[in-house]
Structure 1
């Protein structure tokens, strides 16, 4: 029998031989990889020295004078990531697993000081309460969530993922992004920043921080429901490609979007961000969106997408949202859980880079009643194993400290542990990695999961080309809104409009018709409406300033419910009088004149307070989903033939909406449920 010390020496010798074989094999793989990619990329550098090897140039990101595998752009992203993971400390890995909001200097997106008109491209360097005050009323964990100053985030916390919610000029964004990337490049390994954003290219009447932005400097397309109503896959792809170009030009390289959730619960306050109630339609749209933003695979011009909210948040109990305790249950009274997975499968097949599980938990099923970020059977059994997703699982903002539904009794450390074991790779909403670090030190057996997470996170950065060049041309960014982009958007704005009723062929309006065009504004304005009038001769009609002088009224109603973050748990309704519309005024006007009623849908509104199919004077009805008055006028005057189709069914009354099954599409609720039906839409 060998002595113990001889056994140890023998083991060491075998390990050395095995390691040498791997080294030789890796060398062969490296040579093969070199042969596979010899095209010199453009290198953007502020502080890294450039190495020249065999006539090629590389960034010496860790400043050691040598070409490390992770610095070698000829290697595959997986090889480069594996090398870099092995160089990082526990603290650096923890920092890479966090993403939280960061603010530009003087920026006021969270309503705390500052003014967006005075925003500069500098950093906000003061500690501040961030997502916690916006997304929920109070923390449920042992600590408050805070957002550190940008420099502290990068240098002390080793963070390299940031959510930019500022709505400022493209020039300010580009300069700020470049400053952030320069700060990151100065770090030990020169790891670049991922800069994420919510949607910025839509006309929205219900924009909120954390959901979507309203009017921005980017080219404006219809809302997500409008993209679905177009029924035009090529135009959806064009929208996504244009948005991609504009985002990358300003330094944004990741999208916290789009929603694959189904609009099966008409009261849900996030219906506006969906692609409608039909799983197959939503799947078709989100496929084109992913391919338009990312391409067939991630590359240096892509915007990496985060598809949300797995496995679907559209069947929320009572329509209440799980940002709050009273909305934490996802219910399936119609037994249609599986229906929610169809759009996610399409996004996965198209290559979506990340998927975000929601805060809610499945109620009344055989799955564990814990939030989806903690739900191992959902994330591992369905998302990874059944649907084959291999990308990043990115939690929504704050399930650890703020919305830990189903695991409220666990400590913060044990919540991290449960989420890691469930499969979360990237945690959103937390700035300080201290408790994640404590978790990893308390449970060292979690480190393989951490290494796998960091590997996935770095692969995305390598694929996006950020290690080679994370900078943007600040001068070029000022010219992102190109005329050809606007032309495409204008087409989409018109194709998204749905003609629902056209009694007596009132549309298109006859030449010289006198038109009074009234548009309702947001809830809370001193005046509830505005009159659209123009001297522009592009429409052969005459605009008048009051209804008495008109031949036809055009009333564009823009219902607007209580903001998501004003939720108090009280019942939600979809009738017009509870959502900002002066029903008495509308009825008075429509009783006097032939009327074209235009309704902007952010939810499937019930409009029986002002309209039924027996209404005499309301002769034309159109649906919009975020568009312009000019687009509406092109439809009603016949300059553009309407072609849109409804993305959901609207309930015939609020009572029907209260009694429907939350997971069942409106078109399956029965013949007495709907007024305007899914896929309905007329042309001239």
Structure 2
């Protein structure tokens, strides 16, 4: 398929005298029955489909029958169109719609969909044979190339029997840390602090603006679903996924979650053609991970509530519901003991299988009407290596990996049935519609139950305008993604998010240029561009400047995610490379330590070795030097407390915030200058 910008719509609509091509009607708006020619013509952009004419207007012939069906009529409401299309679908098409696969790429060596070009043959089979039309993308590349690749997928979708467009989702792309399964490579997207940084700034208006910018960048390349934000609370300091949260305070997180979603979805009144669907996660209590071990792993499948504080972990989701969030993703993990909230007792299975959590609490108490999307792999088998770890000398892999916690001994069919019965609408990482087909054919699920989920999924596609305008302008994408204005705003957020923890003798901001600096973890070219002379030893410097990270351990190297995640101790110890550099830097007259905090670092034995300490949550060297030199000022306040020792971390309760006995720095701490 040629680039979208090289085509015009080659139909009679382009020749129709007096046709109005500018505004059109949104998929979720318009009259439900008015066929008057006074209606402005919908602008479809590029399409491979033929047209059907009625009352002087043009409509896509999505099912290729030469007639205008209600679901093809852009004048009708999204609700009417979704119901009509639902009635035309086969059982196989409905089952396919409930899959949310991984978009296959060429020459994929990871099995996770990373690469720079889609495998279109594989996608054609998934879309046109298995009827799957929602995929996560982990593809990288420049913005124009991503957009062109996306357009090729939509051409395949137009070839399907009913012409249902494809929805593309993504993990976060606008931050600094890339961890497979939690975030995606940036591909030139504007680079902002992690969500912890937004919590540190505490400005909901800024967070909403970030969401708006990320929304524009996503849509430019064809990404229409954001697998974010995390509404999980970082009440367990050792947990590996704190960096994607808004910290440990429920009130702060609630406000930030709401603002984030309003930015991505374009407001709080529901989805429109300019919305990216936000998928808030992970419902619920994920942050209370037992001993800090993460639910991606068999050994980390438990959450725990020794403080009886489960209800506190629901509060940030209230911000999501206030923003009319489009989708909710349940957590992998499940409570290690019985938990009852608002009279609802949770089952001790993964949240994706728990009817009390999904139907009684989420849909019942909170009235959620959107799409419930499972986290990845909950119906997959977890083999011996997945459960016990690979043998010594054998690298872990995604082969045999699954997350069916609480249902490990069930069959795949049983997992699908239990999850759909619990309230699940769509299955992340799955391309197995045959199991849902079997479930209906065997009387384990009714087709009417599948219809409920299919309607919700279709409704969102119509509300987003995908049926009428699925293609993007590939040439324009490169002027949107990571443009200078967006990058400037992102850089300012990086500066503002830094938290000044220590500033002995008011060493910051630094005196003027010309000083000698010893650097660790910093690009010398950046320091030189600010007028500093880089020297080779701390003793020869006027000031040492270091960038270090929160310490961690790799306690489970034989598990796929355990091998990648940061677990265990938060303390700087002898032998730790960063700590050795901190001790070396103490030989300089002054030393400034900037600590990247994906988890709350213990700085007890760093305070006496540094003149100044700055916490950051994802920052460039340029933003750091702007703050060091006073061009920008650190405005952040800690979104979690910093413990004074690992003994106090081990004594605190996983589900309770702000509860180490003697924190070195309390929640909300931050100096200024």
Q: Does the CA contact (< 8 Å) of 2:32 and 2:75 recur in 1?
A: no
Task: Tell me the equivalent position of 2:294.
Answer: 321
Question: Within the alignment, does 1:627 sit opposite 2:623 as a pair?
Answer: no
Question: Within the alignment, does 1:72 sit opposite 2:70 as a pair?
Answer: no
Q: Does the CA contact (< 8 Å) of 2:279 and 2:325 recur in 1?
A: yes
Match for 2:667 among 669, 678, 684? 678
What are the within-5 Å matches in structure 2 for residues 622-661 of structure 1?
A: 622-661=614-653
In structure 2, distance between residues paired with 1:435 and 1:155: 18
Question: Within the alignment, does 1:260 sit opposite 2:231 as a pair?
Answer: yes
Q: Does the CA contact (< 8 Å) of 1:260 and 1:312 recur in 2?
A: no
In structure 2, distance between residues paired with 1:459 and 1:438: 25
Distance 1:579 1:93, change over 3 A: farther
Q: Does the CA contact (< 8 Å) of 1:519 and 1:558 recur in 2?
A: no
RMSD: 2.4
Q: Does the CA contact (< 8 Å) of 1:123 and 1:176 recur in 2?
A: no
Task: Tell me the equivalent position of 1:551.
Answer: 542
What's the secondary structure of 1:668's corresponding residue?
A: coil
Q: Does the CA contact (< 8 Å) of 1:109 and 1:165 recur in 2?
A: no
1:53 Cα deviation (Å)?
Answer: 2.5
Task: Tell me the equivalent position of 1:459.
Answer: 459
> How big is each residue's C-alpha offset from its partner over 1:305-337, in whole Å with a ceiling of 9 and x where there is no partner?
111100131001111111121111110111110
Q: Does the CA contact (< 8 Å) of 1:552 and 1:593 recur in 2?
A: yes
1:214 Cα deviation (Å)?
Answer: 4.1
Q: Does the CA contact (< 8 Å) of 2:128 and 2:159 recur in 1?
A: no
Task: Tell me the equivalent position of 2:280.
Answer: 307
1:234 Cα deviation (Å)?
Answer: 1.6
Task: Tell me the equivalent position of 2:165.
Answer: 192
Distance 1:41 1:654, change over 3 A: farther
In structure 1, distance between residues paired with 2:538 and 2:158: 62
Q: Does the CA contact (< 8 Å) of 1:34 and 1:75 recur in 2?
A: no
Distance 1:31 1:101, change over 3 A: closer
In structure 2, distance between residues paired with 1:355 and 1:225: 21
Task: Tell me the equivalent position of 1:62.
Answer: 63
In structure 2, distance between residues paired with 1:232 and 1:102: 35
1:95 Cα deviation (Å)?
Answer: 0.4
Q: Does the CA contact (< 8 Å) of 1:513 and 1:551 recur in 2?
A: no
What are the within-5 Å matches in structure 2 for residues 193-592 of structure 1?
A: 193-204=166-177, 207-296=178-267, 297-366=270-339, 367-401=346-380, 402-443=402-443, 445-480=445-480, 481-512=482-513, 514-520=515-521, 532-534=524-526, 539=530, 541-559=532-550, 561=552, 562=554, 565-567=560-562, 572-577=568-573, 581-592=577-588
Q: Does the CA contact (< 8 Å) of 2:204 and 2:255 recur in 1?
A: yes
> How big is each residue's C-alpha offset from its partner over 1:144-194, in whole Å with a ceiling of 9 and x where there is no partner?
xxxxx2111011100001110112221221111101000001111100001
What's the secondary structure of 2:373's corresponding residue?
A: strand
Q: Does the CA contact (< 8 Å) of 1:557 and 1:581 recur in 2?
A: no
TM-score normalised per structure 1: 0.85
1:548 Cα deviation (Å)?
Answer: 2.1
TM-score normalised per structure 2: 0.86
In structure 1, distance between residues paired with 2:649 and 2:532: 39
Q: Does the CA contact (< 8 Å) of 1:517 and 1:532 recur in 2?
A: no
> How big is each residue's C-alpha offset from its partner over 1:10-63, in whole Å with a ceiling of 9 and x where there is no partner?
xxxxxxxxxxxxxxxxxxx9656779x945432144321122323332211111
In structure 2, distance between residues paired with 1:411 and 1:214: 34
In structure 1, distance between residues paired with 2:56 and 2:220: 29
What's the secondary structure of 1:478's corresponding residue?
A: helix
What's the secondary structure of 2:329's corresponding residue?
A: strand
Task: Tell me the equivalent position of 1:668.
Answer: 659
Distance 1:104 1:39, change over 3 A: farther
1:213 Cα deviation (Å)?
Answer: 2.2
Q: Does the CA contact (< 8 Å) of 1:392 and 1:425 recur in 2?
A: yes
What are the within-5 Å matches in structure 2 for residues 37-52 of structure 1?
A: 38-52=39-53
1:483 Cα deviation (Å)?
Answer: 1.6
In structure 2, distance between residues paired with 1:465 and 1:580: 52
In structure 2, distance between residues paired with 1:221 and 1:108: 29
Task: Tell me the equivalent position of 1:602.
Answer: 598
The runs of 5 or more residues in structure 2 that have no matched partner are 1-29, 340-345, 381-401
